[in-house]
Structure 1
Amino acid sequence: MMEIGTKEGWREFVDAAYEKPVPATVAQLRAMAPADRSLYNQIRARYSQAGAFVKTPQYAEFQKAVRRRVYLNEHRQVGKFGLILSGEPGQGKTTTLLQIGKEHELRRRLVAQSSALDGAIPVVYVAVPAQSSARALLLEFVRFFGLPARRGVLYNELVEMVANAMQRCRTELVLVDDIHHLDLKYRANLEASDMLKQLSERCGSTFVYAGIAVQDTGMLTGAREGQIRKRFKLYDATPFSITTKQGRSDWGNLLLALEDSLCLLAQESGRILTAAKALYRLSGGEIGPLKDMLQLAALEAIEDGTEALDLREFDKELQRQQFAKQALQSG
């Protein structure tokens, strides 16, 4: 399994391309030799899990904002622009961060940009450790680049080491995940926040943060409020809503895209829309739980040979949850 928090793992992630399997009929699948059938099912699962990415309206908006800031920061000397993606678990924040980084690097390679030539590392991805300090976070950057850091190396030396690596590698985009671990009520985390700002000014990279309820971490209030709000724009990753015509259309488009990604051989295209309301209520409009439900249901359909989602099960599950809720309230 690739470790995205290193340059080797990140490169493997960017290079990975999972093609959609060639469509087959149920009869053709059953006629395959057991080994061939097993391989075909593995290819389908891999594509569904790792190859198919659904670009939601929220994703498209955030990606556009990242592109604009990368372009502008290339020409700014101080006060580099950044972005913060905040939301509750299940909103696809990490997936969004990774996909934006992957597409950015692939675009750079396509046009032979200097930031994508041999030896360059246009995108860096790190996750903030729990109870992080400035030093601990710096060591995540050191680990990503694979830099030699002797035991007892001084903090300022680490900053210099990481900043120099970003400059040499022409890093343009720095993705910092789990930023909610930097609770600025604690002094060590204040120092870590300042360290990120220092790296941004030294290297000219565009920093993009993602985390849970970032508004509650102190990054956007208190002593650092003015400093961060002036440079970083906050985007909220929110659940889908079906209270408007556009919202229902977006939800339907998401379901259709996910249905197609499952590669079920007997699934009638568009049939999933008959369970749109049940799926919405079961998932709360959140893309993470929705994908989990559909992929588990698809695996069951593959294993039992039906090759189609049993959409009635979603209605039954919703009824069971409603019954359990009513029983709890009445008890």
Structure 2
Amino acid sequence: MEIGTKEGWREYVDEAYERPIPVATEELAAMSFGDRALYNQARAQYTQAGAFVKTPQFRTVQAVVRDRVMLNRYRQVGKLGVIVSGEPGQGKTTTLLQIGKEHELRRRETGHASAGKGKLPVVYVAVPAQCSAKALLQEFARFVGLPVLTRMTFGNLLTMVANALRSCSTELILLDDVHHLDLQYRHNIEASDMLKQLSERCGGTFVYAGIAVEDSGLLSGSRGGQVSKRFELHTAHPFQITSKEGRADWGDLLLALEDSLCLLNQRSGAILDAAKDLHRLTGGEIGLLKDVLQLAALHAIDDGTEMLDLADFSREVAARQGARKPRATV
């Protein structure tokens, strides 16, 4: 699925995985090989693609984006935006996509004009590495499905894309991988300037996401000063358990992920016994935590235990600590 096109994005928004109905282990064992395989596949799909955990960070960013969409509706110039920054594994792209998906579904459910026939309430574009302003505009054109002729000038292309976004009633423009717009390169400066022009002309709200955006130059200098005034920066951090509030947030995340695993013998809340070990293993990174738990769940389904092996997390922590210990010199 190519979400960088309107067809792929629509497929992503329409995609929904229902949580498989829980069955007793005896019922699972009594299934035919084929039925059991289908049931396990449905669980794996739901765990990896169908279940989304709304963390406090996600809720904060989503609320800010909603506010700016409403405010920008009445602003002629100086459109407001949002930047989601952070190191890899902090859920930036997942946050970006989920915000866009929920916005479009909400527009559809309320019969909003932006979700009518031929409209595109949300556009998603990933910034290519070392891209020029024209190349980035071509990514917008590719999403919308506009034909790009080789003889087109930058001005022609900008006008075509801006007019298309406006005629499609696009409210939300999601721009991923903005760290590729490192402003130490001239063509990236031109691409950054183009985004400002496009923002003023298309009427939508831009939401950027990227790795350590603060260090890319996008927010520094005279150009960066304008961006930083109009865009609210939100930096995604790993979960910390050094405070009571942090431990509570980490526990809530673990409980939500535990529930999403759909393991038949997993006692609700048992995962909290491994809270510290899981934090040591993942450093509080939500992406890595999901990988660890989903792999453990697949093993539990495969070996028939249908529950997380919490002791295995302790063993892994001990093994890593042992590997870090300096060897005694002779």
User: TM-score normalised by the shorter chain: which range applies?
Assistant: over 0.9
In 2, the alpha carbon distance for the partners of 1:288 and 1:330 equals 38
* Equivalent position of 1:206 in the other structure: 205
Within 5 A, what are the aligned runs for 1:212-231?
212-231=211-230
Separation of aligned partners in 1, 2:111 and 2:202: 21
SS in 1 for 2:151: coil
Structure 2 CA distance for aligned equivalents of residues 251 and 4 of structure 1 = 31
What's the secondary structure of 1:84's corresponding residue?
strand
Q: Deviations over 1:278-313 (max 9, x none)?
A: 000110001000000000000001111111111111
> 1:160 aligns to what?
159
Mapped contact 1:218–1:224 kept (Cα < 8 A): no
Task: Look up the match of 1:171.
Answer: 170
In structure 2, do the counterparts of structure 1 residues 36 and 195 end up closer, same or farther at CA, with 3 Å as the change threshold?
Answer: same
Are residues 1:64 and 2:63 paired?
yes
C-alpha change, 1:71 and 1:277, in structure 2 (3 Å) is: same
Letter aligned with residue 83 of structure 1: V
Aligned twin of 1:115: 114
Please report how far the alpha carbon of residue 329 of structure 1 lies from its aligned counterpart in structure 2 after TM superposition. 9.8
Instruction: Evaluate the alpha carbon distance shift between residue 142 and residue 258 of structure 1 in structure 2; reply closer, same or farther with a 3 A threshold.
Output: same
Query: Partners in 2 of 1:22 and 1:160 — Cα distance?
Result: 51
Q: How does 1:272-311 map to 2 (within 5 A)?
A: 272-311=271-310
Q: List aligned pairs for 1:1-331, cutoff 5 A.
A: 2-327=1-326
> CA shift at 1:160, angstroms?
1.0
SS in 2 for 1:230: helix
By how many angstroms is 1:146 displaced?
1.1
- 1:225 deviates by 2.2
Structure 1 distance, partners of 2:177, 2:328, is: 36
Q: CA deviation at 1:223?
A: 2.6
Q: Does the Cα contact within 8 Å between 1:14 and 1:102 map onto a contact in 2?
A: yes
Consecutive unaligned residues in structure 1, runs of 5 or more: none
How far residue 197 of structure 1 moved from its aligned partner, in angstroms, is: 0.8
Residues paired across the two proteins, number: 330
Note closer, same or farther for the CA distance 1:146–1:330 as it changes in structure 2 (3 Å cut): farther
Shift of 1:135: 1.2
Give the whole-Å Cα distance in 2 for the aligned partners of 1:215 and 1:144.
27
| Counterpart AA for 1:57 | P
One-letter code aligned to 1:286: E
Identity of aligned residues (%): 66
- Alpha-carbon deviation of 1:53? 0.2
Query: When the two structures are superposed, what TM-score results if normalisation uses the length of structure 2?
Result: 0.98
With normalisation by structure 1, the TM-score equals 0.98
Aligned-partner Cα distance in 2 for 1:226–1:214: 14
Larger CA deviation: 319-328 vs 92-101 = 319-328
Partner AA of 2:108 in structure 1:
R
Cα 1:329–1:127 change in 2 (3 A) is farther
Give the CA deviation at 1:132. Answer: 1.3
Letter in 2 for 1:66: V
Counterparts of 1:328 and 1:86, CA distance in 2: 39
How far apart in 2 are the matches of 1:291 and 1:34?
Answer: 28
8 Å CA contact 1:173–1:206 kept in 2: the answer is yes
Instruction: Could you list the structure 1 runs, at least 4 aligned residues long, displaced by more than 2 angstroms after superposition.
Output: 327-331
Distance, in Å, in 1 between the alignment partners of 2:326 and 2:160 is 60
Letter of the 1:140 counterpart: E
- Partner SS, residue 126 of structure 1: strand
SS in 1 for 2:325: helix
Q: Secondary structure at the match of 1:327?
A: coil
* CA shift in 2, pair 1:326/1:106, >3 Å: same
Separation of aligned partners in 2, 1:170 and 1:199: 14
Q: Mean Cα displacement is larger for which, 170-179 or 142-151? A: 142-151
